[in-house]
Each structure stands twice: as C-alpha cells, then as structure tokens.
Amino acid sequence: MLAKNIFKSFMLFLALSIAAIAAEVGSIATDFTLTDSHGKTHSLSNFKGKYVVLEWVNYGCPFVVKHYSTHNMQMLQKQFTAQGVVWLSICSSSAGKEGNMTAEEVNKKQAEYDATPSAYLIDANGKVGKSYGAKTTPQMFVINPEGKIIYAGAIDDKPSKDNADVKTAKNYVKEALNEALAGKTVSVKTSKPYGCAVKYSDK
C-alpha cells in the first residue's frame, strides 16, 4: 500500500511538472477543445492568427469577485476583444465544488456582471487546467498569433481581496497586451499567480 501511494504521488508530481513545462512562456500553447456555456464547442487551434487570453475563473472565489465587482475584468474583456483579441474564461471547478455551475447559472451570472468574454468554457474534469498547470483563480495566460505563450501568471501585482487595490495595481495582462499589439516585446513575461486554489476533482 505504501509503495502504491508513493508511486501515485510521484506520478502526480510528474504530471504537474510536465504541465508546468508545457505552459512556460515561449512554448507553444497546448491545444484543447471545450464546450462553452451556450453549448458551442471551441478549440484553441481555431484562433491561430489572433491574440488569445486564457482566464481561469471561479465566480465563488473572493479574488475573482474583486476583479468582477469592480468591473476590472470586464473592462479588459471589452477593451481587448474590441481590438480582435479572443478572451476565453475557463472554469476547471469539478462537480460539487465551488465555482462549478450549470450553463444556465453561468449565463445568469455573466449577465449580472456584464461580463463579455468571447466564451466561458467548462473544464469540469480539470484536464485543460492541469495541462496548463493552472493553480489559482484568477490565473492568466496570453498567447500570440503564432500560438506561443507570451505571458503567464497573475492579473496584477496586488495579491489581495481588497477592491481598492485595483486602482493602484500594475495590471500585467493589460500591459502585456498593449505592448504585444503595438509590436513591442512584453516587458513582464511571468509573475506568481494569486487567488483561490483551482477546485480540481479529488479523484
């Protein structure tokens, strides 16, 4: 039994290590296919040629609530989708855990928040989240038109639940997109993500 548990722990460590490598800045973003809250299927590869933002989300997480109640996240969504950026909100909360919602509940919450991502994708088995090494909500990735990850980490430099901090924070995602869209090199490519742990299945 002990040997079996050690082997399982090693395999989990190995899987997370591989995921972390796969989601490194400069690497090609792992392709995936997920269904959105309206029943439409989306594959990352379909958006090649465009900038793509991946936003790990859990509407029950106070750190996520901070960015939505202040409309910080929605302003970013509107600003950059208007410039042709594809914005994909991804929920990897498993069934029965915080953040896992029915499609109807998701669409109602999005309407309440006036959220406008290109799609809200449901990853209840956590496969996509684990493939990117997503650990927190929110956690952000920016992918360039060639399919490479050019930013990975936190949304900003204020790891708090305080709404007031949004105004004084350095928004890494906004900065990365503005620089990339202007043809410049992204100055801050990585940061430590903060927020609630992604509510993956215990199985």
Residue 79 within any structural domain of the chain: yes
Instruction: Count up the domains in the chain and report the number.
Output: 1
Residue 203 within any structural domain of the chain: no
Tell me what pLDDT residue 202 has: 82
Tell me what pLDDT residue 23 has: 77
Residue 192 within any structural domain of the chain: yes
Residue 80 within any structural domain of the chain: yes
pLDDT < 70 positions in the chain: 1-22, 203
Token couple for 102: 């029915």
pTM higher than 0.75 for the full model? yes
Q: For residue 108, what is the domain's CATH number?
A: 3.40.30.10
Tell me what pLDDT residue 58 has: 98
Residue 73 within any structural domain of the chain: yes
Domain that holds residue 76: 2-197
Residue 202 within any structural domain of the chain: no
Residue 166 within any structural domain of the chain: yes
Tell me what pLDDT residue 16 has: 43
Tell me what pLDDT residue 140 has: 98
